[in-house]
Amino acid sequence: MSREMICINCPMGCRLTVDDADKSNIKVAGNTCPRGVTYAVNEITAPKRMVTGSVKVVGGNIPMVSVKTREAIPKELIFDSLEILKKVTLTAPVHIGDVVVADVCGCGVDFIATKKVDSVSR
Amino acid sequence: MIKVNLVIVGGGPAGLAAAKSAYDAGERDILILEREAELGGILNQCIHNGFGLHTFKEELTGPEYAARYVDEVTKRNITYKLNATVIDVSCDKTVTYVSAEDGLVQVQAKAIILSCGCRERPRGAINIAGMRGAGVFSAGTAQKLVNIDGYLPGKEVVILGSGDIGLIMARRMTFEGAHVSAVVELMPYSSGLNRNIVQCLNDFGIPLYFSHTVVDIKGRDRVEGVVIAQVDDKLQPIKETERLIACDTLLLSVGLLPENELAKNAEVQLSPTTGGAVVDENLMTNVDGVFECGNVLHVHDLVDFVSAESENAGKCAVDYINGAAPCRDKTVISCTNGVRYCVPTVLNRDETYAPQSFKMRVANVFKKVELAVFADGVKVFGRKRPVVAPGEMENIMLTAEQMKTLKQAKTVEITLIKGEQQ
C-alpha cells in the first residue's frame, strides 16, 4: 500500500510517498535528505517524537526552565513523560544539557535542560 | 550625550547576529540595547525544537539557539544594556533609551541597526464582535504565560489562525493538560509549516477548519464560548453555518506585524506591503546609516534566515561607519503577477557586484510556476517551483554576474510565470 506523509524532521516538511507493502522493505520517495527515509520507516514501525516542556526551578533568576528529550521518544510515551515532568522541581543553578529526568519511562532517553538558570541569593 | 559607533536596537536573534558580524568586521564600539531582562528575544519563550538546522546543522530549541549567539556576543565582550527601552530614534542618529539603572540616556551613533522584531496582530485589528470577558490572548502571550511564567491561561481552548505560533500553542496547551477543541483558519490554506500541522494537530486529533472564522465571542466576565462560521470565497461568514463551540479561552494567531514606530520617528520610509523599511541590498534604509534586519524588516519563517540576514546588516553597517559612500541612484524592484514583495526593495545602481540573495513572498498558493527575475524585460534568472505559498518565503541567490546585469538595467522585475505562459 502506498501512502502520503509529511516529514517532520525539519521545517522543509518534505511530502513523502511511502510504499509499505513489504514491512521489511519500506520504499520512500520525495525525501530531500536521508532523514526522510528514517522518519518514514519509524513512522510506520515505531513512531517517535521530541518532547519539550518546562519545569519549575527554585532559587533562580527565572521561575521556569525549558527542557527537551535528548532525542525523540516513542510517541505513546509523550503524556507519561509529561506527567513525570510535572512532579519535578529543580534548584538553581541549571546549565544547558543538565539531566532533568534520567531514562524517561525506561525508554533510555533523558530529559535535559535547554536553558541556563543562574542562582540568586535572597 | 554618549557617542557610540554602532547602536543595535534589540538583543534578539537579529541584533545578536548583527553585533557578532559587526565585531568580526572590525568594529569594536558597539552597544546593544535590549528591553527585556535577558538577551535572546522571542527565542526564550519558543521552547520547542526545530531551530538552527541551517545555521548549526543541528536541531535546537529556541533557548539553545539564543544561547549560542549570546555566547558569541559575550565572548567578544560586546557591550549590551538590559531592561533598557529605546523610546526614540531620530534621523540624525540619536538614540534615546530609558532604564531603571541609567535613567534617560541619549546616544549619538554613527550607524544604527534596528532589529526590534515584530508584534502580534491583536484582537482589535481583526474586529471580532462579542463580549470582552477574560480569556482572549494572543498566541504569543499564552506562550509566554505557559513557558516563561508557568501559568496555564485556560482549559478549554479554541485557536483562531493556523500560523506556526497557533499550531505550536495547540500542542503546548495540550501538553499542559488543556483541551484544544479546534483551530479555525480563515484562508483555505495554513500559513504554518506542514510539519507543525502534523506534529501539533494531527498527532493529538485536533481538528483544523479551513475557510472558517470566529464571528462572536460569548461570556461577560470570562469567555464561555465562540461562534465560528464558514466563509465564502470573498471571506465573508455564511450565516447558516454558524455554530457555538464552548470554551474558556480563545487564542489569536492572526499574523505578525513588523514593529516600526521607532523607524517612523527616524523618518525611515516604510513599505506598505511588508510594514518594514524600504531597504537596499545592504539593508540600509532611506536614512543614511540606519539599517534594518530580522522581523522588523519583514516577518521570516525561520530564525536561521534572520541570523543570516542580520549578519549581512552588521557587516554593511561597519562598511558605512568606515566611510562607504551611500549610493543615491536606485532602482525600485517591481514585484508582479503574484509576487507580493521582495527584500531588498531597491537596488543601488553602483558598481559593486556581489552575489546577492532575494527573499520574497507570494500572494496566494500557485502550482507549477516559475519564479523569474527580469532586467529591462530580459530574463536573468528563473526557477521552476511545483508549488509556492504565502506561508513559505522564497529565497533566490543571484551571482555577481547576474547582479551586474540587474544593477545596470533601468527596470528590474520579479514575477511569477504561470502555467501556459511558461
Low pLDDT (below 50) residues in chain B:
421-422
- Determine the 3-state secondary structure of B193 from DSSP: coil
Q: In whole angstroms, what separates CA A83 from the centre of its chain?
A: 15
* pLDDT recorded at residue B49: 92
- Determine the 3-state secondary structure of B230 from DSSP: strand
Counts for chain A of helices (H) and strands (E), in that order: 2, 10
Question: What whole-number distance in Å separates Cα of residue B349 and Cα of residue B225?
Answer: 57
Quick check: A11 and B44 CB within 8 A? no
Q: Which of A97, A52, A45 is nearest to A78 (CA)?
A: A52
| The Cα angle at residue B107 between residues B104 and B113, in degrees rounded to 5 | 115
The pTM score is: 0.94
Other CB atoms within a 10 A radius of the CB of residue B365 amount to 15
Separation in Å, CA B376 to CA B350, B383, B421: 17, 19, 19
Q: How many CB pairs under 8 A join A and B?
A: 77
Of B147, B149, B199, the CB nearest to A66: B147
Quick check: B47 and A7 CB within 8 A? no
* pLDDT recorded at residue B375: 96
Q: Which of B1, B3, B41, B13 is nearest to B311 (CA)?
A: B13
Radius of gyration of chain A measured on its C-alpha atoms? 18
Question: What whole-number distance in Å separates Cα of residue B2 and Cα of residue B64?
Answer: 34
Amino acid symbol at A62: I
C-alpha cell at B104: 534617560
Q: Is the peptide bond before B326 cis (omega within 30 degrees of 0)?
A: no
Which residues make Cβ contacts (< 8 Å) with residue B261, sequence separation at least 6? none
- Report how far apart the first and last C-alpha atoms of chain A are (Å, whole number): 63
- Determine the 3-state secondary structure of B4 from DSSP: strand
Exposed / middle / buried, residue A106 (Cβ in 10 Å: 0-12, 13-18, 19+): exposed
Please give chain A's pLDDT, 122 residues, in tens: 788 898 888 777 888 999 888 878 888 988 888 888 988 998 888 999 999 999 999 999 999 999 999 999 999 999 999 999 999 999 999 999 999 999 999 999 999 999 999 999 75
Closest-CA distance, B63 to chain A, in angstroms, reads 6
- Report how far apart the first and last C-alpha atoms of chain B are (Å, whole number): 59
Closest-CA distance, A8 to chain B, in angstroms, reads 5
Chain A residues in contact with B200 by the CB 8 A cut-off are none
Question: What whole-number distance in Å separates Cα of residue B82 and Cα of residue B347?
Answer: 35
Amino acid symbol at B323: G
Question: What whole-number distance in Å separates Cα of residue B33 and Cα of residue B95?
Answer: 10
Asked whether B210 and B189 are in contact (CB, 8 A), the reply is yes
Amino acid symbol at A11: P
Of B61, B175, B198, the CB nearest to A68: B61
Of A8, A56, A114, the CB nearest to B195: A8
Asked whether A36 and A16 are in contact (CB, 8 A), the reply is yes
* pLDDT recorded at residue B420: 53
Region label for A116, one of left (φ > 0), alpha (ψ between -120 and 50) or beta (otherwise): beta
Q: Is the peptide bond before A47 cis (omega within 30 degrees of 0)?
A: no
Chain A residues in contact with B48 by the CB 8 A cut-off are 52
Quick check: B148 and A62 CB within 8 A? yes
Closest-CA distance, A53 to chain B, in angstroms, reads 7
φ/ψ of residue B167, rounded to 5: -65, -45
Question: What whole-number distance in Å separates Cα of residue A96 and Cα of residue A113?
Answer: 5
* pLDDT recorded at residue B192: 86
Quick check: B67 and A6 CB within 8 A? no
* pLDDT recorded at residue B85: 98
C-alpha cell at B392: 513559505
Which residues make Cβ contacts (< 8 Å) with residue A23, sequence separation at least 6? A44, A45
Quick check: A54 and B199 CB within 8 A? no
- Residue B258: its H or E element: strand B256-258
Of A6, A54, A116, the CB nearest to B195: A6
C-alpha cell at B409: 538595467
Amino acid symbol at B338: G
Quick check: A6 and B53 CB within 8 A? no
Quick check: B149 and A115 CB within 8 A? no
Question: What whole-number distance in Å separates Cα of residue B212 and Cα of residue B181?
Answer: 14
Q: In whole angstroms, what separates CA B341 from the centre of its chain?
A: 14
* pLDDT recorded at residue B422: 46
Question: What whole-number distance in Å separates Cα of residue B358 and Cα of residue B347?
Answer: 11
What would the pLDDT profile of B129-143 be if each residue is shown by its tens digit?
A: 998 899 999 999 999
Question: What whole-number distance in Å separates Cα of residue B90 and Cα of residue A96?
Answer: 40
Among chain B residues, CA nearest to A47:
B203
Asked whether A57 and A89 are in contact (CB, 8 A), the reply is yes
- Answer yes or no: is the ipTM higher than 0.90: yes
Quick check: B67 and A49 CB within 8 A? no
Amino acid symbol at B382: G
Residue among A32, A50, A52 with most chain B CBs within 10 A, to mutate: A52
